Amino acid sequence: MACLLAPAAQAQAQVQVHVGNLEQHIAAVREDGRFVPTRALQRLQEVETQARSAPLPVRAEFLTQLSTVRMRLGQNDLAMQLAEELIAYARQNKNDVALAKGILSKAYITFALNERRASHLLAFEAEKIANRTDDLPVRVQATISAGQSWAEEGNFPFALAKLQAAVDLARQSNSPSSLAAALNALTLLYTQMREYDKGFEVLDELLAVSSTLESPGRMAQAKNTEYGLALDARQPQRGQRALLAALALERQLGASGMVAVTLVNLSDSYLKEGDYARALRYAYEAITAGRLVNNEQVEATARLNIGQALIGQGRLQEGKQSVATGLAYYERTANQPDMQAVLLEYGMALEKAGDMRGAVTAYHRERGISNLLFEKQRQKAVYELQEKYEAEKKQRQIELLSRENQLKSTEIDNRRLQQRVWWLLALVLAMASVIVGLLYRKVRHANVQLNVKNQELKRQSSRDPLTALYNRRHFQEFMRSHAGKPLPAYGDADVVGALFLLDVDHFKHINDRYGHAAGDLVLTTIAETLHDVLRETDMIVRWGGEEFLAFLPAVSRDGLDDIARRILNGMAAQVIHYQGQAIQVHVSVGFAPYPLAPLGRPLTWERSVNLIDMALYLAKAHGRNRAYGLRGFRQVERTTLEAVEQDLERAWRDGYVDLSVVLGGTDGMDSTNTGTTAHGRPAGASDGVAAAAIT
């Protein structure tokens, strides 16, 4: 028997079908919104009238997707208006799911506007609201955003806990797309944390889940994540393969924005390999693609890659101009962390090209940003501690008042009887406190002055008055205070301490020809240059006269020659102008890892310094403007350490010590000789292993 619906019921059924179709349409647009926003915008505008009059869940999802699309098209003002509309609509209807979506949209737009801290606070707020709901996909998205925010603030433990929780929630939701998003974020975090093995484990699952989605965009995103992990894990070939696969998927999808980013990453990949021709090709393609989607960051990054590639090809001035164009974007957007990384790469490119002055300038700017970021983090930590202290103080006051209010009413009369006695005692104490206070202020003032004087005397006793470097006495006290303590545990056998001893070449000639004032200027310039080429954590000492000593607490064992080369070329790049005359300065260097441990027994620091002093003497004896490094000992049981100390060169020739020789540049900032290194024994050694001929 057929059943006929009343007109009202029939109309309601038609509306429900219409709403269901609309919901499916908006859900289908979601993928395009992430990867092809121009196409998504057109499809959303087709149903805008119906969506705005639809029930709350459908309308909320529509506003979320439309805001996301506007943001991805760079239309941040329109995107923010839509996010605010969604937030107001959600609050009016007291719907936490819609409210969480609106605040998340606002967080993403705020991040796109380079307001990172405000974006993080919005993400944290959205997570709290989302966790009040039963909507697992929204909770996953909010938890991912909170985890990424903690990572951007450098709080990796919080970030890891959040993203692992997001993965667990995504598994419960039975939503492969939510799981792919959570796994992608977790892989990126492990990359940042340099936990590469764990990163590859999560990546394998990410690629497997992405392959089940039949979404070229999701797979391309996963391949880009694979590129970042492979690059940091020093697997450049795997990274390039991932990028090329991502590029093919993105072009198939028509995802112009993703194509632009992948092209600039390919350019960077080939740049790191030294394939400058391909780096230039992909960088120019990235500029064209970036302009199509109005992505200034892509174009700026491509300009930086072009500049470094041109520098690598020897086209120094063209390269510098291109880098300056790219840097202008980062300066305008005040993106300090990215600016720091860019300057470090730029300095390395200039150093490799032999432009030591330009490299030092870039490193100096990078160090300034590093110090600024550190100071901001320190201030933030202080403010947070102050807020915590104030909150705890208020809590203690509340608890105290609560306890006082719980006293029995019978105690009130007793307090009144005692008040008269207390008033008398208070009067006596007040008079005494005034007297004591006056005396205390005088004593405190005297102590402050005494402390200032003591600090000044301590500073004067530990610093060289001319260069403001630490003096020999301070270094000796420092080393004596660490004598007998366990050796530093760096967690990596390739990380060691190091000692470098420098002596100015022909310093007496400089004093005799230009005068002692010129000699003093040379010494202060060397001190400043050492601060530029070494790190803040390195101890730099004026060892005496024209000698300087540097103690580096933790460096790569394989990087000692590079540090010596940086010192030599940094000094050679300095031209000191004194009374209209240009003074070119070179130094000779002796160096060694610290502690030195022949036969497994660490030498005292005094004997280590004595050995590098002998290495310095070899550098002087064999031409100056070079560095001799004592890398280690061989078959010391066949001789004695005393014999090695008496004649280091003979010990080298006989094969008992391993020395490296680093040659410095000869013509300052325009020198193309960035230094050469040789290891082993000198030519003519008994086993025929040639390293550097003795001249």
In tens, the pLDDT along 641-679 reads 888 888 888 888 888 888 999 998 754 333 333 344 455
**pTM surpassing 0.85?**
no
Using a pLDDT cut of 70, give the percent of the chain over it: 77
How high is the pLDDT of residue 464?
86
Which of 111-120, 312-321, 479-488, 524-533 is modeled with the greatest confidence?
A: 524-533
**Cα–Cα distances in angstroms (integers) from residue 634 to residues 466, 613, 644, 650, in the given order:** 41, 20, 11, 13
User: How far is 433 from 551, CA to CA, in rounded Å?
Assistant: 52
Cα–Cα distance for residue pair 240/237, rounded to 1 Å: 5
Of the listed ranges 29-33, 94-98, 203-207, 509-513, the one predicted with least confidence: 29-33
pLDDT at 564 (0 to 100): 94
H/E stretch holding 680 reads: strand 677-680
Distances (CA, A) of 359 to 37, 53, 190, 271: 41, 61, 31, 18
By mean pLDDT, which of 289-298, 396-405, 645-654 is the weakest? 396-405
Q: What single DSSP character describes residue 539?
A: E
What pLDDT, on a 0 to 100 scale, did the predictor assign at position 453? Answer: 56
Residue 266 CA to residue 247 CA, distance in Å, equals: 9
pLDDT at 515: 85
pLDDT at 436 over 90: no
Token pair of 101 as six digits: 């979506």
| Structure confidence at residue 380 as a pLDDT band (50, 70, 90) | low
Q: Is 549 exposed, middle or buried (0-12, 13-18, 19+ CB in 10 A)?
A: buried
* pLDDT at position 628 over 90: yes
The whole-number average pLDDT for the span 320-338 is 79
Average per-residue pLDDT for the chain: 79
Answer for the pair 548, 502: CB distance below 8 angstroms, yes or no. yes
- How confident is the model at residue 372, as a pLDDT? 63
The arithmetic mean of pLDDT across residues 85-103, rounded, is: 88
Mean pLDDT of 65-86: 85
- What integer pLDDT is reported at residue 340 of this predicted model? 72
Q: Do the Cβ atoms of 319 and 303 come closer than 8 Å?
A: no
**Among 142-151, 346-355, 608-617, which stretch is predicted with the lowest mean pLDDT?**
346-355
pLDDT the model gives residue 386: 57
* Choice between 417 and 95, residue whose per-residue pLDDT is larger: 95
Over the stretch 4-55, which tens digit does the pLDDT of each residue have? 444 434 444 343 435 567 777 777 777 666 777 778 788 888 888 888 888 8
Q: Say what the pLDDT of residue 637 is.
A: 78
* pLDDT at 457 exceeding the cut of 60: no
State whether residue 25 is helix, strand or coil.
helix
pLDDT of amino acid 328: 85
Average pLDDT over residues 217-244: 87
Higher per-residue confidence, 477 vs 412:
477
**CB 466 within 8 Å of CB 574:** no
User: Strand locations in 472-546, DSSP E?
Assistant: 495-504, 539-544
Q: What φ, ψ does residue 522 adopt, rounded to 5°?
A: -60, -45
Query: In which band, very low, low, confident or very high, does the pLDDT at 505 lie, cut at 50, 70 and 90?
Result: very high
pLDDT at 382 over 80: no
Mean pLDDT computed over 466-470: 89
Q: Please give the full DSSP string across 578-590, using - where no structure is assigned.
A: ETTEEEE--EEEE
| pLDDT at residue 159, as a whole number | 85
pLDDT at 412: 58
Task: Average the pLDDT over each of 37-46, 98-107, 204-213, 392-401 and give the range with the smallest value.
Answer: 392-401
What pLDDT shows up at residue 371?
Answer: 61
Q: What is the mean pLDDT of residues 393-402?
A: 64
Cβ distance 141 to 126 under 8 Å? Answer: no
Could you read off the pLDDT of 601-614 as tens digits, one per residue?
Answer: 888 888 889 999 98
pLDDT at 591: 96
- Tokens matching residue 14: 């038609």
The pLDDT, as a whole number, for residue 615 is 92
Residue 57 has a pLDDT of 84
Q: What is the pLDDT of residue 680?
A: 52
Q: How far apart are CA 143 and CA 189, in angstroms?
A: 14
570 pLDDT higher than 70: yes
Weakest-pLDDT range from 20-29, 121-130, 266-275, 324-333:
20-29
Q: With 70 as the cut, is the pLDDT of residue 189 above it?
A: yes
